[in-house]
Structures are given as structure tokens and as C-alpha cells.
Amino acid sequence: MITAAGSRRAQELASQGVAFVTATVVRAQRPTSARAGDVAFVLGDGTIEGFVGGACAEHSVRAYALTAIERGEAVLLRILPFDGVLRASGAAAADACEVSAEEGSVTVQNPCLSGGAIEVFLEPVLPAPRLLVAGDTPIARSVRQFAAELGFELVTVEDGSPEPAAGDLGLVVATHGRDELAALRRALEVGVAYVGLVASRKRAPGVLGELRGDGVPDELLERIDVPAGIDIGARTPAEVAVSILAKVIAVRREHGAGRAAAPAGEGRAAAPVTVVDPICGMTVAAVPGTPCLRYDGETYYFCCEGCRTKFEAQHAHAQSAG
């Protein structure tokens, strides 16, 4: 259950536009240290604020919470004690810990768990992705109208302000040739995920040529979607708007909900990196603070210091034997 302090912290994170996961223990089987109702917040850098179990349980919560941020989907994480059955059957390390995954839930075996089982509901809280629309044309007005229904943070660009920023999901330019070059260039330079220009196929080469002449490299110009939107045979402003927003949604899903929704000025969050502990087979997040070791040109991550020590001992023995 979220306490008053926890509720204030959640509101603070949301107001700052920070992506995070609310991790709530919904079931705990003794002798686990977690209790039903325990709540923690998992931030995009892997930081866990609160308590949802011991160190090894935290590794599983962290890894799957980061995936929930990336996908923008809630998941029920079931963490079972490791019984050794899969390992004894010769299953690979990665398969030995992730027992099953189905829509909305994943079940893992935790070799470090003290004997009980816990279930944790991971619910991502993501800032609304920012979509900038430049222009006061019928198409621009239709884009704004429909975008509001899709949960975007809608920003109107007037006279070049505000400028696109790193972390913005998209920029749609529908100005009929007025003040469009600066916004397009800025969006390309800061890496806005979707950059769309409403222009005819006849006019498009001229706009791209002006940007090229202004020093914008071809690899960036290739990112401009022009004519903007998916080709659905649209004719009316409303139909064109639908085709554009369909493309924006597709780009958002391709980039990951959490990254596309990163707050402006901070850049889109990197895709979460999860790896498998080579000793016990746990899935862990490769984030600062996770025990790791550099060996033979590669970095290995572990669920605990014990697994890292065992890895060192095994490879020291192999080297001495060789």
C-alpha cells in the first residue's frame, strides 16, 4: 500500500516528467522478507526506492521494471524459489530462470530466494510524449484535434517557438511553406523521433534542397517523412491527420514507449540492457551498482558478489590449468 510519503514521491516524479514503475507486492509466501502491500518505485536508471524483497528479488524486479518502462506495459512478475529441476535437465542458464512468459505476466525462478515466492505487479508511469505541431492550416488543426485524444502532450509551434528538443516524440510541420526550415533543421539535429513535413511530392525536393544547401547532411534529411503520414489515399484534412498520427504512433512503438516519452531536455532514455548472470542464470539489469567483472574483453554482470567470486575462481582455475 502506498503511504502518504510514497504518494507524494509519485506525484513529484510525475510532475518532473520522470518515467518510473510502481512495484507492488501483491502476494508473498513465507519465508520471503517482502510482505503483501510493500511498494517501491523503480526509476529509469535502475534505482529502486522502497522495499520489495531481498537483493536477488530486487534484481528481477529491476530488470523487468525497466522492460515495462521500455514497452509501456504493466506486467505481473512471479518470482519462485529455484528448485534446480531445469538446471538438472541441462537447460541453458537463461532458460533455467525465466520459466514462462505470457501476455501480461512473466514467471522466473530465483536461485537466491530464501524459499518463498512473491508476486509483484509492475505498473509503468510514463510522461505523455510531446508532439509539436507547426502551422495553422486545416491539416495542422486536425492533427491537434486528434492528437489530444491519443494522450500526447500537444505543443503548438508559433513563429519558431518553442523549438523542438531532445526527447520530443515528433514534429509535424504543416505551414504551407512558412517558417518551416528552422524547425525541421532543429528537430533533425536534436534527434526528434518523428519529423514530418506536409508537402506535395512536387514541392518536397525543393525544401530538402534548401536544407541541404544550409548544411544539413543527407543522412539527416532522409529522416524527414514527406509527404507526412502513411499512404492511405487520404484526401481531406482529417484523413491526412489520421495518416500522420498513425505514422507517429508506429514510430513511438518502434522506439519504445519509455524512450519516446523521455522528458524534453534530458534526451530519450537508452533501451534497458538486461543480461544473464553466467553463474546462476538470473536475468539482471546492466546498470551502475550491479556487480560486474571485466574478463577477456567482455563485461559480465552478476546478481550478487557471491556469483562474481565464483566466476573469478572458475576462470582462474581454467587459466592455471591451461
- Which of 41-44's residues contact partners 24+ apart within 8 Å by CB, and which partners? 41/6, 41/9, 41/10, 41/13, 42/66, 42/69, 42/122, 43/13, 43/18, 43/19, 44/18, 44/19, 44/20, 44/69, 44/258, 44/269
CA angle (71, 20, 263) in 5-degree steps: 85
**In 3D, which of 14, 257, 265 has the Cα closest to residue 163?**
265
Cα–Cα distance measured from residue 60 to residue 98, given in angstroms and rounded to the nearest whole number? 10
Cα–Cα distance measured from residue 105 to residue 41, given in angstroms and rounded to the nearest whole number? 19
Average pLDDT of the chain, as a whole number: 84
pLDDT bucket at 184, cuts 50 / 70 / 90 = very high
List pLDDT tens digits, range 252-309: 888 766 555 554 444 444 555 788 888 887 888 888 888 899 988 999 998 888 888 9
List pLDDT tens digits, range 1-16: 788 888 999 999 988 8
Q: Worst-scoring range by mean pLDDT, 99-103, 174-178, 190-194, 255-259?
A: 255-259
The contacts of residue 232 (CB under 8 Å, 6+ apart) are: 239, 242, 243, 246
Alpha-carbon distances of 290 from 41, 226, 255, rounded to whole Å? 18, 44, 25
List pLDDT tens digits, range 122-136: 999 988 899 999 999
Domain 130-260: which CATH number of 3.40.50.300, 3.40.50.2300, 3.20.20.80, 3.40.50.720: 3.40.50.720
Q: Domain boundaries in the chain?
A: 16-125, 130-260, 274-321
Q: CB–CB of 82/48 below 8 Å?
A: no
